Homo-oligomer: A and B are copies of this chain.
Amino acid sequence: MAETAPAYVVGIDAGGTRTRAVLAELDGGRVRGEGAAGPGNALTVPGPSLADHLAEAVAHAVPEELRGRVVAVAGGFAGAGHRAQGADEPGRLRARAALTAALARLGVTAASVGVHSDIETTFAAAPGHPADGLVLVAGTGAVAARIAGRVPTATSGGDGWLLGDDGGGFWIGRAAVRAALRAADGRGVPTALVRAVGRDLGLPEEVLPPEGYGLTGATVWSAERRTAYRAGLLPAVMDRPPVRLADHAPVVVRTAEERDAVAVRILQEAARHLAETVAALAPRPGEPLVATGGLLAPDGPLLSPLTERLAPLGLTVTPVADGSPGAVALARLGRF
Protein backbone atom coordinates (compact mmCIF):
# COMPACT_ATOMS: atom_id res chain seq x y z
CA MET A 1 0.00 0.00 0.00
CA ALA A 2 1.48 3.39 -1.04
CA GLU A 3 2.04 5.84 1.76
CA THR A 4 -0.32 8.83 1.55
CA ALA A 5 1.35 12.21 1.93
CA PRO A 6 -0.56 14.04 4.70
CA ALA A 7 -2.62 17.16 3.90
CA TYR A 8 -2.35 20.30 6.05
CA VAL A 9 -4.45 23.24 7.21
CA VAL A 10 -3.37 26.73 8.32
CA GLY A 11 -5.14 28.72 11.01
CA ILE A 12 -4.46 32.46 11.39
CA ASP A 13 -5.20 34.74 14.32
CA ALA A 14 -4.87 38.32 13.02
CA GLY A 15 -5.17 40.70 15.97
CA GLY A 16 -4.56 44.36 16.66
CA THR A 17 -1.07 43.67 18.05
CA ARG A 18 0.19 40.71 16.05
CA THR A 19 -0.64 38.08 13.46
CA ARG A 20 -0.16 34.41 14.34
CA ALA A 21 -0.22 31.47 11.92
CA VAL A 22 -0.37 27.80 12.86
CA LEU A 23 0.19 24.74 10.61
CA ALA A 24 -1.57 21.50 11.52
CA GLU A 25 -2.34 18.22 9.81
CA LEU A 26 -5.79 18.05 8.30
CA ASP A 27 -6.69 14.88 10.18
CA GLY A 28 -4.75 15.31 13.43
CA GLY A 29 -4.51 17.69 16.30
CA ARG A 30 -0.78 18.31 16.37
CA VAL A 31 0.64 21.75 15.52
CA ARG A 32 3.44 21.30 12.95
CA GLY A 33 4.60 24.91 12.57
CA GLU A 34 4.05 28.38 13.99
CA GLY A 35 4.80 31.89 12.81
CA ALA A 36 4.12 35.43 13.99
CA ALA A 37 4.34 38.91 12.46
CA GLY A 38 3.02 42.44 12.94
CA PRO A 39 -0.56 43.66 13.45
CA GLY A 40 -3.43 42.17 11.49
CA ASN A 41 -6.49 44.32 12.19
CA ALA A 42 -8.37 44.32 8.89
CA LEU A 43 -9.72 47.85 9.30
CA THR A 44 -6.73 49.73 10.73
CA VAL A 45 -3.72 48.07 9.05
CA PRO A 46 -3.26 49.31 5.46
CA GLY A 47 -3.88 46.60 2.85
CA PRO A 48 -0.26 46.13 1.65
CA SER A 49 1.08 45.90 5.23
CA LEU A 50 -1.67 43.48 6.15
CA ALA A 51 -0.69 41.23 3.23
CA ASP A 52 2.99 41.49 4.27
CA HIS A 53 2.23 40.51 7.88
CA LEU A 54 0.07 37.60 6.79
CA ALA A 55 2.72 36.37 4.34
CA GLU A 56 5.47 36.65 6.98
CA ALA A 57 3.50 34.72 9.61
CA VAL A 58 2.43 31.99 7.16
CA ALA A 59 5.97 31.70 5.71
CA HIS A 60 7.34 31.03 9.19
CA ALA A 61 4.63 28.50 10.00
CA VAL A 62 4.70 26.52 6.72
CA PRO A 63 8.04 25.13 5.44
CA GLU A 64 8.42 25.63 1.69
CA GLU A 65 8.18 21.92 0.92
CA LEU A 66 4.73 21.69 2.56
CA ARG A 67 3.13 24.75 0.91
CA GLY A 68 1.67 22.66 -1.91
CA ARG A 69 0.01 20.36 0.60
CA VAL A 70 -2.09 22.98 2.39
CA VAL A 71 -5.72 22.23 1.56
CA ALA A 72 -7.51 24.80 3.73
CA VAL A 73 -6.71 28.15 5.33
CA ALA A 74 -8.87 30.06 7.79
CA GLY A 75 -8.13 33.42 9.38
CA GLY A 76 -9.87 35.26 12.20
CA PHE A 77 -9.39 39.02 11.83
CA ALA A 78 -9.86 41.81 14.31
CA GLY A 79 -11.83 44.52 12.50
CA ALA A 80 -13.67 42.03 10.32
CA GLY A 81 -17.37 41.98 10.84
CA HIS A 82 -17.98 42.09 14.60
CA ARG A 83 -21.46 43.20 13.75
CA ALA A 84 -22.73 40.13 11.95
CA GLN A 85 -22.82 42.10 8.71
CA GLY A 86 -21.89 39.14 6.55
CA ALA A 87 -19.37 38.55 3.83
CA ASP A 88 -19.57 41.94 2.12
CA GLU A 89 -18.63 43.82 5.29
CA PRO A 90 -15.65 46.17 4.55
CA GLY A 91 -13.21 44.57 7.02
CA ARG A 92 -13.91 41.12 5.60
CA LEU A 93 -13.41 42.28 2.03
CA ARG A 94 -10.05 43.83 2.96
CA ALA A 95 -8.99 40.76 4.92
CA ARG A 96 -9.85 38.45 2.03
CA ALA A 97 -7.94 40.56 -0.49
CA ALA A 98 -4.84 40.67 1.73
CA LEU A 99 -4.96 36.97 2.60
CA THR A 100 -5.43 35.97 -1.06
CA ALA A 101 -2.43 38.11 -2.05
CA ALA A 102 -0.26 36.69 0.75
CA LEU A 103 -1.07 33.06 -0.09
CA ALA A 104 -0.44 33.61 -3.82
CA ARG A 105 2.94 35.16 -3.02
CA LEU A 106 3.95 32.06 -1.02
CA GLY A 107 2.58 29.51 -3.49
CA VAL A 108 -0.04 28.23 -1.08
CA THR A 109 -2.88 27.07 -3.32
CA ALA A 110 -5.44 25.89 -0.77
CA ALA A 111 -8.84 25.14 -2.27
CA SER A 112 -10.62 26.54 0.78
CA VAL A 113 -9.79 30.00 2.16
CA GLY A 114 -12.05 31.16 4.95
CA VAL A 115 -12.18 34.73 6.31
CA HIS A 116 -13.79 35.19 9.71
CA SER A 117 -13.98 37.77 12.45
CA ASP A 118 -11.75 37.18 15.47
CA ILE A 119 -14.94 36.64 17.45
CA GLU A 120 -15.76 33.54 15.42
CA THR A 121 -12.27 32.02 15.70
CA THR A 122 -12.09 32.85 19.41
CA PHE A 123 -15.36 31.04 20.02
CA ALA A 124 -14.22 28.05 17.96
CA ALA A 125 -10.98 27.91 19.97
CA ALA A 126 -12.75 26.49 23.02
CA PRO A 127 -12.27 22.79 23.77
CA GLY A 128 -14.56 20.72 21.56
CA HIS A 129 -14.91 23.64 19.07
CA PRO A 130 -18.55 24.43 19.87
CA ALA A 131 -20.89 25.82 17.20
CA ASP A 132 -23.38 27.72 19.40
CA GLY A 133 -22.99 29.91 22.47
CA LEU A 134 -21.54 33.21 23.64
CA VAL A 135 -18.14 34.88 23.29
CA LEU A 136 -16.57 37.87 25.02
CA VAL A 137 -13.39 39.58 23.84
CA ALA A 138 -11.91 42.12 26.28
CA GLY A 139 -8.59 43.60 25.20
CA THR A 140 -8.34 47.32 24.48
CA GLY A 141 -12.02 47.19 23.57
CA ALA A 142 -14.83 44.98 24.80
CA VAL A 143 -17.39 43.18 22.69
CA ALA A 144 -19.65 40.18 23.23
CA ALA A 145 -21.51 38.13 20.65
CA ARG A 146 -23.98 35.32 20.30
CA ILE A 147 -22.76 32.62 17.94
CA ALA A 148 -25.18 30.29 16.19
CA GLY A 149 -23.93 27.77 13.66
CA ARG A 150 -20.42 29.26 14.09
CA VAL A 151 -21.41 32.79 12.96
CA PRO A 152 -22.34 35.81 15.10
CA THR A 153 -26.05 36.55 15.08
CA ALA A 154 -26.03 39.41 17.62
CA THR A 155 -23.38 41.59 19.25
CA SER A 156 -23.27 43.77 22.35
CA GLY A 157 -20.74 46.49 23.18
CA GLY A 158 -17.79 46.93 20.85
CA ASP A 159 -18.72 50.51 20.03
CA GLY A 160 -15.14 51.84 20.18
CA TRP A 161 -13.33 53.88 22.83
CA LEU A 162 -15.26 57.11 22.28
CA LEU A 163 -18.71 55.68 22.85
CA GLY A 164 -18.49 52.27 24.43
CA ASP A 165 -16.24 49.28 24.98
CA ASP A 166 -17.06 49.69 28.68
CA GLY A 167 -14.91 47.47 30.87
CA GLY A 168 -12.13 47.02 28.29
CA GLY A 169 -8.49 48.13 28.55
CA PHE A 170 -9.15 51.68 27.29
CA TRP A 171 -12.01 52.08 29.74
CA ILE A 172 -9.81 50.85 32.61
CA GLY A 173 -6.87 53.07 31.68
CA ARG A 174 -9.12 56.10 31.30
CA ALA A 175 -10.70 55.36 34.67
CA ALA A 176 -7.21 55.31 36.22
CA VAL A 177 -6.26 58.72 34.82
CA ARG A 178 -9.65 60.14 35.82
CA ALA A 179 -9.13 58.83 39.36
CA ALA A 180 -5.72 60.51 39.39
CA LEU A 181 -7.17 63.85 38.29
CA ARG A 182 -9.97 63.60 40.83
CA ALA A 183 -7.45 62.95 43.56
CA ALA A 184 -5.44 65.97 42.42
CA ASP A 185 -8.38 68.37 42.64
CA GLY A 186 -9.74 67.00 45.90
CA ARG A 187 -12.62 64.89 44.60
CA GLY A 188 -10.76 61.61 45.23
CA VAL A 189 -8.09 59.93 47.30
CA PRO A 190 -4.39 59.88 46.27
CA THR A 191 -3.68 56.16 46.64
CA ALA A 192 -0.74 54.20 45.20
CA LEU A 193 -2.56 54.12 41.85
CA VAL A 194 -2.27 57.91 41.59
CA ARG A 195 1.50 57.67 42.20
CA ALA A 196 1.80 54.91 39.62
CA VAL A 197 -0.17 56.76 36.92
CA GLY A 198 1.97 59.87 37.45
CA ARG A 199 5.13 57.81 37.18
CA ASP A 200 3.88 56.10 34.00
CA LEU A 201 3.41 59.53 32.49
CA GLY A 202 6.91 60.67 33.40
CA LEU A 203 6.02 63.14 36.15
CA PRO A 204 8.86 63.94 38.56
CA GLU A 205 8.85 62.25 41.98
CA GLU A 206 8.48 65.58 43.78
CA VAL A 207 4.98 66.22 42.41
CA LEU A 208 3.62 62.71 43.13
CA PRO A 209 1.54 62.04 46.24
CA PRO A 210 3.84 60.84 49.04
CA GLU A 211 4.12 57.10 49.50
CA GLY A 212 1.80 55.62 52.11
CA TYR A 213 -0.72 58.44 51.86
CA GLY A 214 -3.30 58.08 54.64
CA LEU A 215 -0.98 56.12 56.93
CA THR A 216 0.01 57.71 60.22
CA GLY A 217 3.20 59.68 59.78
CA ALA A 218 3.03 60.01 56.01
CA THR A 219 3.34 63.59 54.79
CA VAL A 220 0.34 65.11 53.04
CA TRP A 221 0.07 65.86 49.34
CA SER A 222 0.38 69.64 49.32
CA ALA A 223 -1.77 71.95 47.19
CA GLU A 224 1.32 73.02 45.22
CA ARG A 225 2.23 69.42 44.40
CA ARG A 226 -1.36 68.59 43.44
CA THR A 227 -1.50 71.55 41.08
CA ALA A 228 1.85 70.63 39.52
CA TYR A 229 0.74 67.00 39.19
CA ARG A 230 -2.40 68.00 37.33
CA ALA A 231 -0.58 70.58 35.20
CA GLY A 232 1.94 67.89 34.17
CA LEU A 233 -0.51 65.07 33.69
CA LEU A 234 -2.99 66.76 31.37
CA PRO A 235 -0.61 67.68 28.52
CA ALA A 236 1.18 64.31 28.83
CA VAL A 237 -2.15 62.59 28.09
CA MET A 238 -3.34 65.10 25.48
CA ASP A 239 -0.17 64.84 23.41
CA ARG A 240 -0.89 61.18 22.66
CA PRO A 241 -3.70 59.61 20.61
CA PRO A 242 -6.67 59.04 22.96
CA VAL A 243 -6.53 55.27 22.58
CA ARG A 244 -3.16 55.29 24.37
CA LEU A 245 -5.09 55.67 27.62
CA ALA A 246 -5.29 51.86 27.41
CA ASP A 247 -1.57 51.87 28.30
CA HIS A 248 -2.58 52.53 31.91
CA ALA A 249 -4.64 49.36 32.30
CA PRO A 250 -1.66 47.24 33.45
CA VAL A 251 -0.86 49.62 36.32
CA VAL A 252 -4.44 49.27 37.54
CA VAL A 253 -4.06 45.49 37.51
CA ARG A 254 -0.72 45.70 39.35
CA THR A 255 -1.87 48.08 42.08
CA ALA A 256 -5.13 46.15 42.49
CA GLU A 257 -3.03 43.06 43.25
CA GLU A 258 -1.46 45.14 46.02
CA ARG A 259 -4.98 45.91 47.27
CA ASP A 260 -5.11 49.55 46.20
CA ALA A 261 -8.73 50.48 46.97
CA VAL A 262 -9.25 52.70 43.91
CA ALA A 263 -7.70 50.17 41.51
CA VAL A 264 -9.75 47.34 42.98
CA ARG A 265 -12.92 49.37 42.51
CA ILE A 266 -12.04 50.15 38.88
CA LEU A 267 -11.56 46.45 38.08
CA GLN A 268 -14.78 45.51 39.86
CA GLU A 269 -16.62 48.14 37.87
CA ALA A 270 -15.00 46.85 34.66
CA ALA A 271 -16.14 43.30 35.47
CA ARG A 272 -19.64 44.64 36.09
CA HIS A 273 -19.66 46.32 32.66
CA LEU A 274 -18.41 43.16 30.94
CA ALA A 275 -21.05 41.06 32.69
CA GLU A 276 -23.70 43.55 31.58
CA THR A 277 -22.40 43.37 28.01
CA VAL A 278 -22.85 39.58 28.10
CA ALA A 279 -26.22 39.82 29.84
CA ALA A 280 -27.55 42.03 27.00
CA LEU A 281 -27.37 38.94 24.76
CA ALA A 282 -30.04 37.22 26.92
CA PRO A 283 -27.90 34.19 27.80
CA ARG A 284 -29.49 30.85 28.64
CA PRO A 285 -28.20 28.97 31.71
CA GLY A 286 -25.56 26.42 30.78
CA GLU A 287 -24.62 27.99 27.43
CA PRO A 288 -20.90 27.96 26.67
CA LEU A 289 -19.22 31.35 27.17
CA VAL A 290 -15.76 31.61 25.65
CA ALA A 291 -13.60 34.59 26.67
CA THR A 292 -10.29 36.02 25.53
CA GLY A 293 -8.20 39.20 25.36
CA GLY A 294 -5.56 40.56 27.70
CA LEU A 295 -8.06 40.90 30.55
CA LEU A 296 -9.79 37.55 30.20
CA ALA A 297 -7.27 35.05 28.81
CA PRO A 298 -6.30 32.23 31.22
CA ASP A 299 -4.95 34.00 34.34
CA GLY A 300 -6.38 37.34 33.09
CA PRO A 301 -7.15 39.80 35.91
CA LEU A 302 -10.87 40.06 35.19
CA LEU A 303 -11.49 36.34 34.80
CA SER A 304 -12.31 35.65 38.42
CA PRO A 305 -14.53 38.73 39.13
CA LEU A 306 -16.37 38.11 35.85
CA THR A 307 -16.89 34.44 36.69
CA GLU A 308 -18.44 35.46 40.01
CA ARG A 309 -20.80 37.92 38.35
CA LEU A 310 -21.95 35.50 35.66
CA ALA A 311 -22.50 32.52 37.95
CA PRO A 312 -26.02 33.71 38.93
CA LEU A 313 -26.92 33.62 35.21
CA GLY A 314 -25.84 29.98 35.05
CA LEU A 315 -22.81 30.76 32.89
CA THR A 316 -19.27 29.48 33.33
CA VAL A 317 -16.40 31.19 31.55
CA THR A 318 -13.99 29.21 29.36
CA PRO A 319 -10.89 31.36 28.77
CA VAL A 320 -8.76 30.83 25.67
CA ALA A 321 -5.32 32.33 25.01
CA ASP A 322 -6.03 33.28 21.40
CA GLY A 323 -8.07 32.34 18.38
CA SER A 324 -5.53 30.32 16.38
CA PRO A 325 -6.80 26.87 17.52
CA GLY A 326 -10.24 28.07 16.49
CA ALA A 327 -8.92 29.16 13.10
CA VAL A 328 -7.38 25.69 12.64
CA ALA A 329 -10.72 24.12 13.57
CA LEU A 330 -12.60 26.34 11.10
CA ALA A 331 -10.04 25.56 8.39
CA ARG A 332 -10.66 21.84 8.92
CA LEU A 333 -14.42 22.38 8.77
CA GLY A 334 -14.09 24.55 5.66
CA ARG A 335 -12.31 21.67 3.93
CA PHE A 336 -15.41 19.46 3.98
Please give the residue numbers on chain A whose beta carbons come within 8 Å of chain B beta carbons, in ascending order.
Answer: 83-85, 154-157, 159-160, 162-164, 174, 177-178, 181, 185-187, 223, 227, 230-231, 234, 237-238, 242, 245, 276-277, 280-282
Contact = CB atoms under 8 A, between A and B. Distances in A.
B187 A276 contact: yes
Contacts of A282: 186
Given A187-B276, A230-B83, A181 B159 contact: yes
Contacts of A227: 83-84
A164 B185 CA distance: 12
A83 B231 contact: yes
B162 A181 contact: no
Contact of A156 (B84, B186, B280): B186
B181 A163 contact: yes
Given A84-B227, A181-B164, A227-B83, A280 B159 contact: no
A174 to B, nearest CB: 7
A181 B163 CA distance: 8
A84 B85 CA distance: 51
Contacts of A245: 162
